Amino acid sequence: MKRRQVLTLACALGACSLALAQSYPNKVIKLQVPFAPGGTTDVVARIIADPLGKALGQSVIVENKAGGGGSIGAAETARAAPDGYNLGLATVSSMAANPAINPKIPYNPVTDFTPIINIAATPNVLAVHPSFPAKDYKAFIEAVKKAPGKYSHASSGTGTILHLQMELFKEQTKTFITHIPYRGSGPALNDAVAGQVEMIFDNLPSALPFIQTGKLVPIAVAAPKRLEQLPNVPTFKEVGLEPVNRMAFFGIIGPKGLPKEVVDKVNAGVRKSLEDPAVRKRIEGTGSLIVANQPEQFATQIKSEFEIYKQVVNSRKLKLD
């Protein structure tokens, strides 16, 4: 029997040795990103990898395993040996939105992983083309309610967090806005900026440059408080839509059964890394907010997001194309 199979069986029987955890880490750690290089998820992973490696005393290398809206890479992390050498970068898409809408995903985000820490969260923004007949939230709601089905919103694709968060918005406001899915945020943004689609729900980092140049008009943001970059734009909570006030997250997970001592070491290593002002500045430069919470808090967050989007999928009767 291979070493990985033996270790997995031992841990499943509750027999992971304390010695293993105490000696951890003694070799290179892999941090798997379930998306292609270049996106915010990948950027956050690469920013944290080097300082985390220094904090733990071993190199942390980032590997990308894209596909399936993050589910392919996440599934590989779930199948890995629970020894702390195969960790994953978790997002709302891979841990909530995709599992909620796709019954074929081969893992349960709540039971098949060990949450370690939520590194950072990214605000999302609802924005419209400048030609839209409203420039603030009150006028926006009046416009879409006056003309059900007249307007469309672009998303990064069916089943993505940006699609499901807009569906949650429509459910909460009882509005009818047509969904136009694209193959990623880039093409969706291009058409929103060109006025081919009236509005878009997007991550702040990718939408902000267009907002700052006046090519998009922000209506509301999903964030714990008003953003420094958009001080005049209300949060969804401010306009009475607290359920929609949900940010994207970027956290570290491991396979289920990861020893507590390993979880605690990685959590402490990330928190120590985030004490460095230079590291914090680089992450915040993506438009993200530092979170750095405890494993139990991250577990609660994952469960909450998954349950929210399952409810959205069921109530809106959403299916993959």
Domain that holds residue 239: 124-244
What pLDDT score was predicted for residue 5? 56
Residue 46: is it exposed, middle or buried by C-beta count within 10 angstroms (0-12/13-18/19+)? Answer: middle
What pLDDT score was predicted for residue 158? 82
The CA distance from 283 to 216, in Å, is: 24
Which of 244, 263, 285 terminates a domain? The answer is 244
Query: 239 and 271 in one domain?
Result: no
Residues counted in the chain: 321
Over range 70-96, report the average pLDDT. 95
CATH of the domain at 50: 3.40.190.150
Q: How many CA atoms lie within 13 A of 207 on its CB side?
A: 31
Q: Collapsing DSSP states into helix, strand and coil, what is residue 113?
A: strand
Query: 136 and 198 in one domain?
Result: yes
The CA distance from 91 to 34, in Å, is: 9
**What angle do helix axes 137-146 and 161-173 make, rounded to 10 degrees?**
80
Which of 186, 216, 244 terminates a domain? The answer is 244
Closest of 207, 208, 187, 183 to residue 196, by C-alpha: 187
Q: Does the pLDDT at position 15 exceed 90?
A: no
Number of domains in the chain: 2
Q: Does the pLDDT at position 110 exceed 90?
A: yes
Query: 43 and 58 in one domain?
Result: yes
pLDDT digits (tens, 9 = 90+) for 252-293: 999 999 999 999 999 999 999 999 999 999 999 877 899 999
Confidence band, pLDDT 50/70/90 cuts, at residue 37: confident
What pLDDT score was predicted for residue 292? 97
pLDDT digits (tens, 9 = 90+) for 193-217: 999 999 999 988 889 999 999 999 9
Which of 220, 244, 268 terminates a domain? The answer is 244
- Between 33-37, 57-61, 75-79, the lowest mean confidence (pLDDT) is in 33-37
What pLDDT score was predicted for residue 319? 85
Over range 166-178, report the average pLDDT. 96
Query: 128 and 114 in one domain?
Result: no
The two structure tokens encoding residue 243: 């359920």
Q: Report if residue 321 sits inside a domain.
A: no
Q: Does the pLDDT at position 178 exceed 70?
A: yes
What pLDDT score was predicted for residue 1? 53
The CA distance from 320 to 307, in Å, is: 18
